[in-house]
Each structure stands twice: as structure tokens, then as C-alpha cells.
Amino acid sequence: MTSDASPSRRAVLGLAAAAVPAALLATGAAPASAATAVGGERLGLDGIQVSLGGAPRVPHLAAQSWLVADCENGEVLAAYRAHHRLPPASTLKMLFAATVLPKFDKAQKHRVAAADLAGIPEGSSLVGVEAGTTYTVDQLWHGVFLRSGNDAVHVLSAMNGGVPATVREMAAKAVDLQALDTHVVSPDGYDHPGQVSSAYDLSLFARHGLRNTDFRAYCGTRIAEFPARGGKKFQIQNTDRLLGVYKGMIGVKNGYTTHAGNTFTGAATRDGRTLLVTVMHPVNGYDQVYKDTSALLDWGFRAAGKVTPVGTLVAPVSEGGRPAAAGTPAPGPNAAKAGSGGSGGSSSSWPLFGAGGGAAALLAAGTVALRNRRPRRTRKH
């Protein structure tokens, strides 16, 4: 972000600096109004949004939210409750990577201190980072992408100035990407009160990240070696169950917590076309999120060129995207071109830095509510 930003851009980015109480955020709430929905009015409507034309019917899914988009031009081919705010689980690590990954050379080494690993939430997924062992940044990112390791996220956050600083940077990045449904509380996506995102925002994170060569390589890596004590190494495998299984699959990130359920953003390329699919919270558990993603990708490849887009994945503000905020009409489906791209400690001690979604809903709707929360359990990935 440059220092000569226009006043309107500063106003939008300023949302990231405001602390928003968790009690004021609407977990699972709809956007304030369709007219202000980022990416187009139809993306703010309830129900399946699609203009079939000669395309096949969209498969029936039982997920709470989903979206299918063209990764290159940003056209949203179909969506269901695209801006519905839900806990993101480890898919939020896409925003963490988009924020932090460009800041460190892959060959840089870091000897992990015990303080780097302090406060990792109980039940977190771990790759096996140990205090006293030296890791390269490249190895830590493999731990983030393949094993969704909150310990690797914690160490990279420590290298980045600490968890609170990283949360602030992620919040600012989300606002720049116009991911205004997202409220960042932790770098890793673990269940924390008020931490939410949407199928639309997760798709923005994936699209932006995939334009970074390293991001794309990490999310598409199936197997890697990770350091252990005494100079030894052990093998880690990617928890994305579609890699190497679904034709053309290139990534990106899955997630699961007891509260968030299963969430997945996947991208695949066929015949020169790359599609993005995000599925949030299918009702039938772990395997279903992959089945739903596969079904939507299959539909998208058949429907591409036969449907009229119902919206767009907008460009970042820093790259010329028209800022969209509460009270401002959202850009239409063709308003923006493709953008470019080049776990934390106890939540009780963290400030809640909003990325704009919770605050926007509060200003526009005047009233919000939190869903009842279930106890945390072991994080699967």
C-alpha cells in the first residue's frame, strides 16, 4: 500500500484498524443488503444464483454456502449465499499466506524459541515444530499448507512481529482485497469468537494467492520432508484429498473445526480454464465437502461459456479495484478485471481487528446476533 492513496481508499483501509467487539459481529448473518454486496447485487441475495441459459442444472448441495468462479477473469458462474458469514477454520490460512508469504525469503533460517510456540490453542493441528530446532521458511510454509500446522503459523507470525501484528496486517490485507465479510481474530483460523469469513471472501483469498508462484506451489504439493530432532526428517502429506485424485486439481486449502465444520476452497484447471470453488459447512461431514467441490467443479467446466455471470470477484483496492463498503453500491459483474498477486495464542488476550465485514453489517443493519457456540474439540486439519 502506497502513501499517496486517495482519501476514499484511506477510508476503506481504515476499517482494518478499528477494534470491533466480538459481541457485535454476526456469525452466519446475511450481508446488510443486496445493493451493497461486494461483487454484484445478486451475490447478496439468498437462494441459488445462476443464469443457466443452455448450461446443465446446478447440482443439489446441502452446504450452508458455496461459490463457483472463473479464476482468471473473476466471473462468478453460480453461488449460494456467497456473503453468508461463517467460521472459516483453516481456510483462513490462505489470507495468512497472502499476507506473510511475500515478506520472507524461502531460504531464510529460523531457530525456534519456546516463546514462538506459546499459546497455541488446545487441540490445534500441528506439523511437529520443536523449540531449539532450526527451520527454513520454505519448510515452515510446507508445514502450513500441507499439514495446516498451527505451530508453523505461530512461528512465522513470531518472525513477522508477533501474533497481534500479524492479525492487524491480515485484517488490512482483507480490506484491500475487498473481503469485507471477514473478521480476523487469529492467524490460523481456529475457532475464536467473532472470527468469520464467507465463500466469496475465501475465493478472493485463493484467487489472489494463486497468482503468487510460491503460494501456488505450496498448495499443490502433495508430499514433503520436514525436519526432526538430530538432523533427521519425516514425511508430511497434504490433507487436501482432491490433490492427485480430481483431474486438473491445483490446490488450494481445506479446513475443519468442530464449530466451523468442514470448509474447502479448491481450484482446478482443464483445457486452459481454471475454476475456483468454495464450499462451507456441508451437513454430511468430512467427505462431503470434497464431493460437493468435485460436483461444482464438474458443473463449472460444463457450464463455462454457457451461463451469464451473476457477479465478479473484484480486484484489490491497491490494484485499481473500486472500493465497495456499506452504503456504497457494489460494482456490477463486469466492473473489475482480474486482480494480481504476485495458530495463535489464547483469544482472551487478543484485540479483535475487524476486516470490515462485522462493522459494515452493524452500520447498515443496526443489529446483529451471535450464534450459540459449541465446545472446542480436536482440530482435524
d(C-alpha 231, C-alpha 50), whole Å: 54
Strands 249-257 and 109-111: unpaired
Q: Which three cell numbers stand for residue 56?
A: 446443465
d(C-alpha 330, C-alpha 325), whole Å: 8
Q: Which three cell numbers stand for residue 101?
A: 508469504
Q: Is 262 helix (H, G, I), strand (E, B) or coil?
A: strand
Strands 311-312 and 353-354: unpaired
Catalytic sites, residue numbers: 90, 93, 148
Kind and range of the H or E run holding 184: strand 183-184
Helices (H), the chain: 7-13, 93-100, 137-147, 150-159, 163-176, 199-210, 213-219, 286-303, 357-365
Query: Which of 29, 71, 69, 58 has the alpha carbon at shortest distance from 46?
Result: 29
Neighbours of 229 (CB within 10 A): 9
Which of 63-75 are b and which e, b meaning 16 or more Cβ less than 10 Å from the residue's Cβ?
bbbbbbbbbbebb
**93 close to 80: Cβ distance less than 8 angstroms:** no
**288 close to 262: Cβ distance less than 8 angstroms:** yes
**51 close to 310: Cβ distance less than 8 angstroms:** yes
